[in-house]
A and B are shown apart, each in its own frame.
Chain A
Amino acid sequence: DAGVIQSPRHEVTEMGQEVTLRCKPISGHNSLFWYRQTMMRGLELLIYFNNNVPIDDSGMPEDRFSAKMPNASFSTLKIQPSEPRDSAVYFCASSWGTEAFFGQGTRLTVV
């Protein structure tokens, strides 16, 4: 398996623009997670899905953030409008009940 695949790897956008991050989980995994890593807050969970259904979105910072999982092999995290404080590395992870595996992350810079 190719592991968890995220795209793009790097994104630079201007403040106010919409940003969409994409994730393809490991085939057969039934849980998908979005995390954000910053120097100030470390690694924090934003939202997780189980069987394509959002279970816990309490970590989503604001209404500007939204996430979807239309099927078992694809998820998106959207920020609209983006702000400079959203600059971070965003990780997607997937699991089948136990061990979680992470993608390589998307480094987002909002200028």
Chain B
Amino acid sequence: GIQVEQSPPDLILQEGANSTLRCNFSDSVNNLQWFHQNPWGQLINLFYIPSGTKQNGRLSATTVATERYSLLYISSSQTTDSGVYFCAVGRGGGNKLTFGTGTQLKVEL
């Protein structure tokens, strides 16, 4: 099956700092989503981005499908950004997702 690798596995930031999270995948995909799992365990949709670039407030994402990677940018980080960020990809029909192992982010004051 398709492999999804995320880096870095862990990240500690001071509030206000910027960061870039990376997701590499082993095969062509037609679905890519970024999620934030908050400290209460809820999976929150950030982006549906199989290709191209999107922005939502302090967050933006870029997927280069031909090179099999996606990047999530977090600017001016806040303590509420803490949690685990997952990249998930899908291919073919059905829209079933394969998840990466996540990036654990902690934002400190």
Query: Interface of A with B (CB < 8 Å)?
Result: 31, 33, 42-45, 48, 50, 55-56, 89, 91, 95, 97-102, 104-105, 107
Residues of A within 8 A of B12 (CB): none
Query: Interface of B with A (CB < 8 Å)?
Result: 31, 33, 35, 41-43, 45, 48, 86, 88, 94-102
Is there an interface contact between A33 and B41, defined as CB atoms closer than 8 Å?
A: no
Is there an interface contact between A100 and B94, defined as CB atoms closer than 8 Å?
A: no
Is there an interface contact between A31 and B99, defined as CB atoms closer than 8 Å?
A: no
Main secondary structure of the interface of A (DSSP, over half): strand
Given A104-B42, A105-B42; A97-B86 close (CB under 8 Å)? no
Max chain A Cβ within 10 angstroms of own Cβ: one of B33, B94, B95, B101: B95
A42 to B35, CA, bound (A): 14
Is there an interface contact between A45 and B41, defined as CB atoms closer than 8 Å?
A: no
Max chain B Cβ within 10 angstroms of own Cβ: one of A95, A97, A98, A100: A100
Is there an interface contact between A100 and B41, defined as CB atoms closer than 8 Å?
A: no
Is there an interface contact between A48 and B48, defined as CB atoms closer than 8 Å?
A: no
